[in-house]
Amino acid sequence: MNIKVCRNYDEMSEKAARMICAVMTLKPDCTLGLATGSTPVGMYKRLIAMYESGELDFSRVRSYNLDEYYPIKPTDPQSYRYFMNVNLFDHVNIDRANTHVPNGEAADPDAECRAYDEEVSRAGIDIQVLGIGRNGHIGFNEPSDRLTAATHLTALSESTIEANSRFFASPEEVPHHALTMGLAPIMKSKRIIILVSGKDKHDALSALLSGVIDTSVPATVLNMHPDVTVICDEAAYNG
């Protein structure tokens, strides 16, 4: 596992954007695995700036997002589809048909998850961007004594509902379920970058860096992947 400790959030965001830029430059028709949440917002801002300056071209890029609340409409401002539109897709020349977020309105969520897995597997993710939950989740693969390989419908943990309530008017409004890419498709990505910012992620980051694989900190499975770069800030690293 490569570790890059950055001075602060801005430097972390810049480094992450540079890594995506390198992949897109080498392979203009690459497939990106994308995350939502507060951590990658700075990276998306830099990617938009690189597009505006002519450094990046998204016209042949495909993307697959990690997760979506369930049930939720794509037009709901709290949905991850909406988040991606506002934070990246609306500002770059990506073909909207080439962007994929699990369908939070699927009548049959299991079928939706199976189809998503098949598509991701066919596309092959060149670089997967991950954040990490305070509880060590990646995507919405929550701590448990059993982890699920395939993309699946999951109940969000109390800790995740509480952490995500900052985006909602009240904790009662946070959806209790989500569709999440499972650990298998995440681990099949050719390269993974995981962004970690802030003191409150220190324990999860320490567990990840300990090299011990522990299902109560799902991110620790990344220790089995051959090409993971942890990009963190000093606050997360030092605690």
Nearest alpha carbon to residue 28 among 95, 117, 121: 95
Q: Within a 10 A sphere around the Cβ of 107, how many other Cβ atoms?
A: 8
- Shortest Cβ 166–ligand F6R spacing (Å): 8
User: Is residue 91 flagged as an active site residue?
Assistant: no
* Residue 79 lies near ligand F6R (rule: CB under 6 A): no
Please identify, using beta-carbon distances, which residue of 51 and 139 lies nearer to ligand F6R.
139
What is residue 136's three-state secondary structure?
coil
Joined together, the tokens standing for residue 3 give 């570790």
Strands annotated E in the chain: 2-6, 31-34, 62-65, 67-70, 99-100, 127-130, 152-155, 177-180, 192-196, 228-233
Report the distance separating Cα 238 and Cα 223, nearest Å.
20
* Residue 112 lies near ligand F6R (rule: CB under 6 A): no
Report the distance separating Cα 85 and Cα 76, nearest Å.
12
Site pattern 35..54 for ligand F6R (x: CB under 6 A): xxxxx---------------
User: Is residue 68 flagged as an active site residue?
Assistant: no
* Residue 185 lies near ligand F6R (rule: CB under 6 A): no
* Residue 148 lies near ligand F6R (rule: CB under 6 A): no
- Shortest Cβ 53–ligand F6R spacing (Å): 26
Joined together, the tokens standing for residue 148 give 């699920």
Catalytic residue among 103, 137, 152, 164: 137
Which residue among 23, 47, 61, 67 contacts ligand F6R (CB under 6 A)? 67
* Residue 138 lies near ligand F6R (rule: CB under 6 A): yes
11 vs 3, 19, 107, 140, 142, CA distance in Å? 14, 13, 42, 26, 28
**198 phi-psi bin (left φ>0, alpha ψ -120 to 50, beta other):** left
Joined together, the tokens standing for residue 192 give 């993974």
Which residue among 66, 120, 235, 236 contacts ligand F6R (CB under 6 A)? 66
User: Is residue 67 flagged as an active site residue?
Assistant: yes
- Shortest Cβ 44–ligand F6R spacing (Å): 12
* Residue 175 lies near ligand F6R (rule: CB under 6 A): no
* Residue 87 lies near ligand F6R (rule: CB under 6 A): no
* Residue 174 lies near ligand F6R (rule: CB under 6 A): no
Please identify, using beta-carbon distances, which residue of 28 and 171 lies nearer to ligand F6R.
171
Query: In the complex, which residues of this chain contact ligand F6R (CB under 6 A)?
Result: 35-39, 66-67, 131-133, 137-139
Q: What are the catalytic residues?
A: 67, 135, 137, 142
